[in-house]
Structures are given as C-alpha cells and as structure tokens.
Structure 1
C-alpha cells in the first residue's frame, strides 16, 4: 500500500504513455502502474523508474484480452486496494498500413483496441476507482475524432482521411461522456485529451518525426488532467492550446 496517488497507464511502456509515467512519478510523486502488452517491456520501464528513486510497478495488459484485463484489475486490487487515476492511453492507428488493410479488418482491429478494449478496461477498474477519495479518468484521444472539426471544411482535420481512427476516437469521446455520467455520484473527473502531434510510432504516418513534439512535451496536458483536485473540471475535451469542440 502507498499514500501516493496510484495511477494506471495503458500502453505505459513507450511513447506518450512512458512520458506520462515519467512526468507523474518525477513531478507529482504518483505511483505509476505501467500497463504493457509486453510484460518484459513493462518490467524494464518500472525497473528504470525505481532505479531513479521513483515509485512504479507494472501489470501485463492486453486490451484485446478479457483475461489480461481481469488479471490486471485483480493484481491492482490485491496490491493497492484502490485506483486513483486511470489513463486510457493505449491505441492503434492502422489507416496508414502498407499494403492497406481490408476495410472490415481495418475497422475491427482499430475498434478492438481503441474502443472495445478501452471500455473493457475502464469497466474492470471502475470498482477500484470508486474506492478512491479523488478518482480521475483521462481518455487520450485526438482532434480528428471531433465531429465539429471533422465537418468544418476550413480545418486540417476535415482533409485527413483516417476513417477508422477518426471514428474510433469519436467513440472514445462518447465513452468519456458515459463514464462521467456513471461516476457523477462520487465526484470523479473524467476528461478527454488530445496531446497533439507527438513523435511516437503511433503517429509516424502523419509526419510526426518532422512536425511533432517530443513525448515529454506531449504528455503535459495528460498529466495536468491526471492530477486534478476535487474541484477540477470534468466532461471536457482539450489540448495544451485550449478546449476542443465535441
């Protein structure tokens, strides 16, 4: 058990998730639980943070496996008895694969991780969030899921043709709205964040290497919303440069 806030980050072993974990441990004294599909990769990250004097552990977490999700939730319950923050970070962008995936495969695989897996994980740890005195959920999303921006022909987001990814991120916004409603009774803060274009493997297909920010910078708004106090905002969608329309 620990008095520090306990935060689970899906996809926490690389990219934006790893940067978020580092900022939370080093700047906010959170105990971060690295959710990693590859157990060894998660263990390496946790060991690195521990060696630097920070509080971290790991769980094997595959969003396409109900057994993995259930085992991760059980491990957190047994070790900590609660969860203070859930950062739904893990996701895939498959619209740019070469050769292109068949349309049904593209949508099935994209939604399996980005929507179905995210919903299953949130459902599994909801009882642990209810045991927190300051529960927070952050859904990492993208402006490309905004219905307002995607229907405005003057915006960049209108022109980018990532149909499966866009649709999945619009669905993630609805997940956030629903969990905000479900957890209203305990005063949880549930928000959506767009980290912007970040230099990660996920975003490589949209010019991230040339135009994106470093993951540590991209994690800024995620960390801000993961560390909200009880009087913080809820049911918002934002980036570092301001609010995003639904």
Structure 2
C-alpha cells in the first residue's frame, strides 16, 4: 500500500517537527516538511531519511501566494495526492513585558495585520490551495493547530493562566482559525474527510522562548492522534490531549 502523504506547515522546528517525526516513525507516513527556510526544512527531512523514514521537504511561506502555489505544484508532481494537511505554522508577536517583545514598536493595526495575515489568512490560503489534492485522497484529513486562548468560552474563565495576559491579536487569530476549521469540515464532509482542531497546550517552543511548558513531543500528541484517525472518526471537534476544549 502507498504511504499516507502528509504536509505539515512550519515543520522544520518545534511542535511541527515533533509531529512530523512521530507520524513518520510511529505511523509510516511520508511526511512533507513545510518550511519557510528551505535549508532548515531540507535538514529536518534529511535527519528523518537517515533513520530510514519517509520524508521530503518543500519551501513554504504561508504569507506568500507564490510560495504556496510552488509548494502545491511540487506536491502534485511528486505525489499526485495529499492525504493529510496539518496547519501548524503560526506566530505570536503580542507584546508582553518580560515575555514577548516582538511587537513592542508595532502599531495596533500592524500587530493585528501581521498576526492575522499569518495565523488566519495564510492558513486559509494554504488550505484552499491544498483542497484539490485532498479531494483526490480516499480519506482526507486536516488538523488545524489552535489554542485554548482561541476559545470564546475560556476567554472569560478567570481560572485560566492566560486570563490576565494581554494577547489580543493572537487570541483573535486562533478564534478565527477555529471557525475556519469548521468551514472546511463542512467542505470535506461529502468526501468523508475529517477536519479537527487541536490545542497542543503550553509547549517549549520559539513562541514561548523555550521558557516554560511541556516538551514538543507532548504538544504533538493530540495533533498526531487527529491526523491518524480512522474513517468514520470524529470531525468538527476542538480538543487537547486531555479531552474536548469548549469553543
């Protein structure tokens, strides 16, 4: 049988790389490392192939239509189909003193524009571009990597650790990603496709400056579970490794 072909955006490092590694090692997937930096993507894929695993890389910048078009064209020529898309790439640039400083000098407009351009618009453009290849699969699956911080229900829960942290742009972008996922769940329903949203939890990545959280392998767990669901599995859900997350 042909291996399952999976594209993971932002998979050269962090959670995306942990997801790609686990899918290739534990499930026999052929993983495509989507990486804005072509060289680091090639290095990540080469590391997997040296272990006898199935992996390729493709330059992929989700804020560039040209990059997306070129990446999808390459996947179509090489594989002719895409079974799984994992929308992992994203940014967190809200300014929080002592923790994040990327947006310290950005205007509110620029902060929201840059955040939504990557986390929402770029994710939507990539997913839409992948749709024809996903529809060629016998069993298409999409996993959107979101966050508890995008939960409208949890936004007013004072017991959450995020309640007093001012991440307006990031929170809005992830709430929008959740709605985007539900739209694609409807789109792939006729093909029996499964589209779900995963929160990896607080993980030590570049987004958190590696200051706190679980290892990337832990953050990858629920994403991998959703990417490897069997036909007839759940769709249009939002969850983390502990269970359902309220919308």
Deviation at 1:157, TM superposition (A): 3.4
Q: Could you tell me how far apart the structure 1 residues matched to 2:120 and 2:216 are?
A: 23
2:127 to 119, 122, 126: 122
**Structure 1 residue 168: deviation in Å?**
0.1
**1:219 pairs with 2:220:** yes
- Alpha carbons 2:93, 2:101 under 8 Å: kept: yes
Structure 1 distance, partners of 2:162, 2:192, is 33
Q: Secondary structure at 1:113's aligned position in 2?
A: helix
Q: CA deviation at 1:203?
A: 2.2
User: For 2:92, what is the secondary structure of its paired residue?
Assistant: coil
Deviation at 1:87, TM superposition (A): 0.2
> More displaced, 24-33 or 152-161?
152-161
Give the Cα separation in 2 of the matches to 1:43 and 1:160. Answer: 36
Q: Is 2:204 the partner of 1:182? A: no
> Shift of residue 100 of structure 1?
4.2
Deviations 1:109-164 (A, max 9, x none): 10111000000000001000001111100000100000000023343333221000
Correspondence for 2:64: 65
What SS does structure 2 have at the residue aligned with 1:3?
Answer: coil
CA deviation map 1:60-115 (0-9, x unaligned): 00011000001111110111010000000000000032534211111011011100
RMSD (Å), alpha carbons? 1.1
Does structure 2 conserve the Cα–Cα contact (< 8 Å) formed by 1:149 and 1:157? no
Q: How does 1:193-204 map onto structure 2 within 5 Å?
A: 193-204=198-209
What residue number does 2:30 align with? Answer: 31
TM-score, length basis structure 2: 0.95
Q: Which consecutive unaligned segments of at least 5 residues does structure 2 have?
A: 95-99
What is the match of residue 93 of structure 1? 92
Instruction: Report the TM-score, using the length of structure 1 for normalisation.
Output: 0.95
Give the superposition deviation at 1:216.
1.0
For the residues of structure 2 that align with 1:132 and 1:157, how far apart are their CA atoms? Answer: 39
Aligned with 1:124: secondary structure? helix
Q: Is the 8 A contact 2:192 2:232 kept in 1?
A: no
Which stretch shows the higher mean deviation, 44-53 or 155-164?
155-164
Q: Is the CA contact (8 Å cut-off) linking 1:192 and 1:235 kept in structure 2? A: yes
Q: Structure 1: state its 5+ residue gaps.
A: none
1:146 maps to 2:145: no
Query: Which SS does the other structure have where 1:190 is aligned?
Result: strand
Alignment pair present for 1:137 and 2:142: yes
**Residues 20-75 of structure 1: CA deviation (Å, up to 9, x unaligned):** 01000000000000000000010011111101100000110001100000111111
Distance in 1, Cα, partners of 2:157 & 2:39: 44
Mean Cα deviation higher: 142-151 or 92-101 = 92-101
Q: What residue in structure 1 maps to residue 176 of structure 2?
A: 171
